[in-house]
Structure 1
Amino acid sequence: MKVSEAIIGQAHGKDVVAYTLTNPNGISLTAMTYGASITELLMPDKNGKVDNVILAMDSLDDYVTHRPYYGATIGRIAGRITKGAFDLDGTTHQLVVNEGVNQLHGGPDGLDTHVWDAEVEASADEASIHFTTTDADGANGYPGTLSVKVSYTLTAENEWKVTYRATTDQPTLFNPTNHVYFNLSGDINQPILQHNLQLNSAAFAELGESNMPTGALLPTEGTPFDFRNEGKLAVAAEGSHPQTRKVAGFDHPFLLQHDEGKPDAILSDAESGRTVKMYTDQDSVVIYMHNAAIDKYTVAGNPVIQYAGITLETQALPDAINQEGFGDIVLRPDEVYTAETIYKFEVQQ
C-alpha cells in the first residue's frame, strides 16, 4: 500500500493536509483534514480507464465557501432536527438553526467545517487515515464536549472502511454519517439516473413539511422506493409518487433489513462496469440524488448538473430524538459510540 500527503491550503488558520492511499489494484482514495472529507476516489472501469467516481470541488476555498457536504464527515447529527430543539433528561436544548427553523447536518459549524488532526498507518494489506477532533460543549447548541475519531481504511481487497468512535463528558446526541456522492460513470456531466440500485429495505421514512420526517415508516412495496430487486434510479425522477415528486427524486431514509453476509446496498453502472457494495451496522441509509442543478460553483470545471451523484448516507434514522420508534441517538459519558460502514468496489465485464 502506498501513502502520500500534501498541504493543499489553509482554513481557520490551520494547514489543510490531503492524504492519498493507493492499493495494488489501481484504486486510490484521497481525503483531507478539512471536514475529514474524501475528495477523490479513483478506480478503473471494465476497459481499464481510471476515473474519479465521487463528486469533489475544484478547490479547498470552494469547500469552505459553499459547503456542499461533498465527501464530508457530518455531525454531530446527520440530517435535520425539527425546529432545532430536543428534550434530554428533562432539559430542553435549543440548537443553532441553519435551514429555516430547523437544524441541518449539525448546524452552521458542524464537524464538516473542522480542520481535523490526522495520523496515517500502513501495512502490506491496508492503509488508514485516522482523523480526530473535539467538538466543544455548547458548539451549535449541543451539550457536552465530544471527542470524535473517524478512520478511513483502504484495503488490498478494494474496500473503503469508514469507522467512527466517539465519547462525551455529558449526555448529548451523536448520529454521524459520510456524505460522499458516487457517480460510477466517472463523468459528472452524465446523470446517475441509469445507475442500478439494489437495496435491502422494505420501508422508508415519509417526509413532510420542510422535508422533515413525519414519523411514519411506509412500505416500499408497490412504490418507486422498492429496490429489493435491482432497479434503475430513473424511477425516482420520472415517477408520479407524491414523495418522489416532493423532492424531485430521493432525499429519504430507508430502513435497512440486515442479512448476514449480504450487502445492504449495491450500486452499479452497466456502461462502466463499476459496482459499489455497501455493508453497514447502522439502522438506515439516507439516499439523496443531488436533485437540483447548481451553478454557483464547479466540479471538474463545470456547473453541477441535476442528478450528478447519489449518496448512501448510513446512519440512525434522522431526527430520531424527536420521533418515537426511530432509535436511540443519545450518547452518555459511560458509553463509547462505534459504527462502521464498508464500501467494496468491483468491476463487472
Structure 2
Amino acid sequence: MEITKELFGRLEGKDVYEYTLTNDNGVKLSAIPYGATVTKIVTPDKKGEMKNITLNVDNLDDIVANRPYYGATIGRIAGRIAKGQYKLGGVTHQLAVNEGENLLHGGPEGFDTQLWDVEEVTSETEAKLIFTYEDPAGKNEFPGTMQLKVTFTLTNKDEWVIDYEATTDATTLYNPTNHVYFNLTGDVKQTILDHELQIASDYYGSLNEETLPTGKLEKSDGTPFDFSSPKPVKEAVLSDHPQIKPINGLDHPFVLNQKEDVKVVLFDPESGREVKMFTDMNSVVVFTHNVEIDDYLIEGEPAKQYAGLTLETQVLPDAINQPGFGNIILRPNETFHSRTTYQFGVRD
C-alpha cells in the first residue's frame, strides 16, 4: 500500500494537494482536503484495463467556483431541509438557505466548501486519509461547534471505507454523506443508463415539486422504483412515472432493508465493473445527474445528462421535520459514528 501526492491547486494562498492511495492490486483512490473530496477511483474492467469510475471537475478553481458536490463530503445535513427550519425543544431554528427557501447540502458554506486538515496513515493491508475540521457554532446558522473526522480507507480487498465521527458542544443536527458519482464505463462520454442497479429496499420517499420529501414512504413494488432485482437504470429514468418525469430521472431516497448485508449493487455489463455498497444508514439517495451541465469540464467534456449516478448514504432526508424518518439530533457528550463501504469488483 502506498500514498503519493501532487499539487492540485491553490486556495487563498495555500497549496492544495491531491493524495492518491494505491493498493496491492493497483486500485487507486484520490482525494483532496478541499471538501474532503474524492477526485478519482481507478479500478480494472473485465479485460484488466484501469480507468477512473467517478466524476469530478478537472481543477480546483472550477470546483470552488461552481460547487458541483462531486465526490465531496456533505454536511452538516445531506439533502434538503424545508424552508431551512426545524423545531427542537419547542424552539424554531432558522438555518441559512441556499436553494430558494430551502437549505441544501449544509447551506451556503457546507463542508464541501471548507479546507480540511488531512493525515496520511499506511499499513500492509490498507491506506487511510484522515480528514478533520472544526465547524464553528453559527456557521450556516447551526448551533454548536462540531469536531469532525472523516476517514477514507482503501483496503487490499478493493474497498473504499468511509468512517464518519463527530461531536458537538451544543445540541445540533448531523446527517452527513459523500456525494460520489459512479460511471462504471470509465468513459464520461457514455451514460449510466445501461448500468444495472439492485437496491435492498421495499419503499422509496416521494418528493414534492421542490424536490422536498412529502413525508410519505411509498411501496416500490410494481413501480419504476422497484430495484429489488437487478434492472437497467433506464427502465426507471426514462419512465413516465409522475415522480420521475418532471425531474427527468431519480433524485429519491430509498429505505434500506436492514436485514440485508449488501444494500446496493451497481453493475456495468459492458465493462464488467461492479460496486457493492454496505452501510449502517437507513437510506440511500440515488441521483442520476438529470441535466447536462456545461459550466465546467470533466476529463475535457461537459457533464452530460446521466453522466453518473450517486449512492448517497444517509438518514432519510429532512428527517428532523418528517416523523418516523430517523434521528439526526446530536447532543453534547454523544459521539456520532457511521460507516459506509463501497467494494469494487469485476464480473466476466
- TM-score calculated relative to the size of structure 1: 0.98
Distance 2:12 2:320 in 1: 31
Q: In the TM superposition, what is the alpha-carbon distance from 1:87 to its structure 2 partner?
A: 1.0
How many Å apart are 1:7 and its aligned residue?
2.9
Matched with 2:208 is: 208
**2:287 is aligned with 1:323:** no
Amino acid aligned to 1:26? G
1:333 corresponds in structure 2 to 332
CA contact (8 A) 1:14 1:115 kept: no
Question: Which one-letter code corresponds to 1:136 in the other structure?
Answer: P
Aligned mates of 1:267, 1:259 — CA distance in 2 = 19
State the number of aligned residues: 348
For residue 172 of structure 2, what is the aligned residue in structure 1? 172
Q: Give per-residue Cα distances to partners, 1:279-309, cap 9 Å, x unaligned.
A: 0000000000000001111101011110000
Deviation beyond 6 Å, 4+ runs, structure 1:
none
The CA distance in 1 between the partners of 2:91 and 2:145, in whole Å, is 17
Does residue 110 of structure 1 match 2:110? Answer: yes
Paired with 2:177 and 2:57, the residues of 1 have a C-alpha distance of: 19
- Residue equivalent to 2:296: 297
Q: Structure 2 counterpart of 1:155, which letter? A: T
1:56 and 1:345 map into 2 onto residues whose CA distance is: 18
Could you report, residue by residue, the CA deviation over 1:206-263 in whole angstroms, capped at 9, with x for unpaired residues?
1013110010000000100000011110012221110111211100000000235x31
CA contact under 8 A between 2:9 and 2:59: conserved in structure 1?
Answer: no
Q: How far, CA to CA, are the matches of 1:78 and 1:42 in structure 2? A: 26
Alignment of 1:31-110 (within 5 A): 31-110=31-110
What are the Cα deviations for residues 167-223 of structure 1, in whole angstroms up to 9, with x where unaligned?
000000000000000000000110100000010000000101311001000000010
Instruction: Give the TM-score of the pair, scaled to structure 2.
Output: 0.99
Per the TM alignment, residue 90 of structure 1 is displaced from its structure 2 partner at its CA by 2.1
SS at match of 1:108: coil
Matched residue, 1:271: 270
1:281 paired with 2:276, answer: no
**TM alignment of 1:228-247, pairs within 5 A:** 228-247=228-247
Is the 2:165–2:335 Cα contact (8 Å) retained in structure 1? yes
Q: Is contact 1:275-1:347 (8 Å) kept?
A: yes
Q: Which amino acid aligns with 2:150?
A: V
1:344 match: 343
Unmatched segments (≥5 aa) in structure 1: none
Q: Tell me, in whole angstroms, the C-alpha distance in 1 between the residues paired with 2:312 and 2:152.
A: 15
Q: 2 CA distance for matches of 1:237 and 1:71?
A: 22
Unaligned segments of structure 2, at least 5 residues:
none
Match of 2:17 in 1: 17
- In the other structure, the counterpart of 1:259 is 259
- Cα distance in 1 for partners of 2:13, 2:255 equals 41
Indicate the residue corresponding to 1:306 in structure 2.
305
- The CA RMSD measured in Å over matched residues stands at 0.8
- Per-residue CA deviation, residues 60-96 of structure 1 (Å, 9 max, x unaligned), is 1111000000000000000000001111122211111
